[in-house]
A and B are shown apart, each in its own frame.
Chain A
Amino acid sequence: MFRASALAASWTLLIFAFMYFPVAVILIFSLNDSEIIAFPLQGLTLRWYESVVSDGRLGGGFATTLMVAFPAAILSTFLGALAALALTRYEMKMKLKLVFAILLLLPFLIPKLILAVAQLILLSELGVARNLVTVTLGQVIVILPFTTLVVASVLVRIDRRLEEAAVDLGASAWSVFRRVTLPLMRNGLVAAMFIAFVLSSSEVVLTTFLSGRAQPLSLLVASDFRFAISPALNALAVLIVTGNIALVLVGEAIRRRSERGTG
């Protein structure tokens, strides 16, 4: 028994090492003082990071990314919250609920490229030009399943008795929501927004098809990462990974805090 446990522990450690191996490699070589990405290491440098930070083209792409990611995060969190409330909080016919849940999962299960070309055909049929709005809406639909899940994970942990007590004390449905449910789910909303922001800023396939002439950072780096390999790109990749992981972890920490608050 103990042996099986120890085996599973070392196996798990190995798998986690595998999951973080690529990140570790680009981190190590982004700090290595050599044009050549190879062992043995040649000493510590920050010059690769300097060259990324001084690249003006990337700054413009970053601004475009923010113009898409903020509205996409807010909209997908709002819709995700509505969906999560409908699924976990208020009554709906069981069959209707099932259909609604499948509909929500659909954008996650359908190959992104197929969804992208389908949206492309619809836009061309409607004669709508592709721009930052179309790419934002396209992203919202693939992010929605994730934000719904994050908000729902907080909602299912809220003690229903708190809401029932408010009803017993004569509060209307709206005031129960505004004064009891909403404050308790607020952390879930913030966490969902962080995750939506990360998913939006790193989305490539939908963005390629729907952004038109605008070039968000994800597309700029996609063409770099596709064809070239260099220590400067390592540094860029590390900056992106660090930014994404930091946002996700902050979101996770906020979500957890709500667990403790209500647990």
Chain B
Amino acid sequence: MSRIGNWLAAPVAAVLVALCLAPLAVLFAYSFFQVDFVTISTDPTLKNYARIAGSATYRALIGHAFLSGAVVVAITALIGYPVAWFIARRGGVRKSALLTLLLVPLYTGDMVRIFAWRVILGAEGVLNRLFLWLGLIDQPLQVLLFSPVASHLVLVYNYLPFMVIGLWLGFEALDERLTEAARDLGAPAREVFRRVTLPLTLPGLIAGGMMVFVLVVGDHLTPQLLGGASGVTVISAINDLFGTAFDWPLGSAIACTLLATLGLCCALAAFALSRTELGRSLAAGEA
């Protein structure tokens, strides 16, 4: 009778272990193997990790992935804040309608979204032809597609809803009277945001930011299909090592390095989150 929860969770946990943790464990083991002509030698070695540490290319790829993640987090946070605030202040039906409308584009599918953006941004695309027709430009703008600009634009498009959901949850937990009090006491709008709204919605920002960050770092299709020469990412490097280059051990080692650094970032974010919760409960205790 008691602890029915454990019995319900057990089969789900078993499936997760079999289909997620076990593959990752094998991936981790493979990162210590090496390719010997056409076979894979299972003598444990640290050579793959030494190669990653010694290679400026792989270090730069991982650095780029994290930079992309940070840039997209910053942009989505900036443009998402007013949207989340607006949605949080609507009532009942309107609020749920806005949230549904926000999430629906997530279900159009990766390939369709990428295709649509290629139609819009291509050299022969809608925007270029529109600008040519309007006489704004003489030559198609090449920078619109197959560039870092294109891939980051679409990364923002892909993951903005996750940021807005995080921020919206933050605003739902925010007591509107606190910002009113700050305004009544004469704080200008910027100070109200900086000293009341931002600290109190920080948990939402951290949660949304963490989701966007890991999703951007892990995105394979968007940079590859829209980024052009800049589309070589750490994820596409792993893809190549498992495909054409056929060096599974090195690919596994890069994947494990990336997962470890991502895990560290998530742990830091979780720690920051626990600190804000603590701060909030302390503030509530004082009040």
Contact = CB atoms under 8 A, between A and B. Distances in A.
B112 A237 contact: yes
B287 interface: no
Contacts of A229: 115, 118-119, 122, 124-125
A173 B4 contact: yes
B104 interface: yes
A55 interface: no
Contacts of B283: none
B135 interface: no
A96 B6 contact: yes
B66 to A, nearest CB: 13
A111 B258 contact: yes
A115 B27 CA distance: 9
Interface residues of A, number: 86
Nearest to B103: A248
B205 interface: no
A112 B220 contact: yes
Interface in B1-37: 1-6, 8-9, 11-13, 15-16, 19-24, 26-27, 30
Nearest to A11: B82
B32 to A, nearest CB: 13
Contacts of B108: 23, 202, 240-241, 244-245
B214 interface: yes
Given A12-B86, A119-B19, A202 B79 contact: no
A141 B259 CA distance: 18
B98 to A, nearest CB: 8
A225 B219 CA distance: 17
Contacts of A86: 5-6, 8-9, 12
A48 interface: no
B13 A22 contact: no
A137 B113 CA distance: 25
B20 A15 contact: no
Nearest to B125: A37
A92 B9 contact: yes
Interface string A153-190: 00000000000000000000100000000000000000
A91 B1 CA distance: 10
Interface string A177-208: 00000000000000000010011011011000
Contacts of A53: none
Contacts of A248: 104, 107
Contact of B115 (A19, A141, A195, A233): A233
Nearest to A91: B5
A19 B119 contact: no
Contacts of A241: 108-109, 112
Contacts of B120: 21-22, 25
Contacts of B89: 5
Contacts of A120: 242
Given A96-B6, A111-B235, A121-B252, A8 B20 contact: no
B114 interface: yes
A26 B189 CA distance: 41
B221 interface: yes
A112 B104 CA distance: 21
A92 B3 contact: yes
A241 to B, nearest CB: 5
Interface in B166-211: 183, 189
A200 to B, nearest CB: 11
30 contacts: A11-B86, A12-B83, A19-B101, A38-B133, A40-B133, A79-B12, A79-B15, A83-B12, A90-B3, A90-B4, A92-B6, A100-B13, A107-B20, A111-B214, A111-B258, A114-B218, A115-B20, A115-B24, A125-B26, A141-B19, A201-B109, A205-B221, A218-B111, A221-B111, A225-B118, A226-B225, A229-B122, A229-B125, A241-B109, A248-B104
Interface of A: 1, 4-5, 7-9, 11-12, 15-16, 18-23, 25-26, 29, 36-40, 79, 82-83, 85-87, 89-92, 96-97, 100, 103-104, 106-107, 109-115, 117-122, 125, 137-138, 140-141, 144, 173, 195, 198-199, 201-202, 204-205, 218, 221-222, 225-226, 229, 233-234, 237, 240-241, 244-245, 247-249, 252, 256
Closest 7 CB pairs of A and B: A111-B218, A202-B109, A22-B116, A92-B5, A118-B23, A38-B129, A90-B5
Interface of B: 1-6, 8-9, 11-13, 15-16, 19-24, 26-27, 30, 79-80, 82-83, 85-87, 89, 96, 98, 100-102, 104-105, 107-120, 122, 124-126, 129-130, 133, 157, 160-161, 183, 189, 214, 217-221, 225, 235, 238-239, 242, 248, 251-252, 255, 258-259, 262, 266
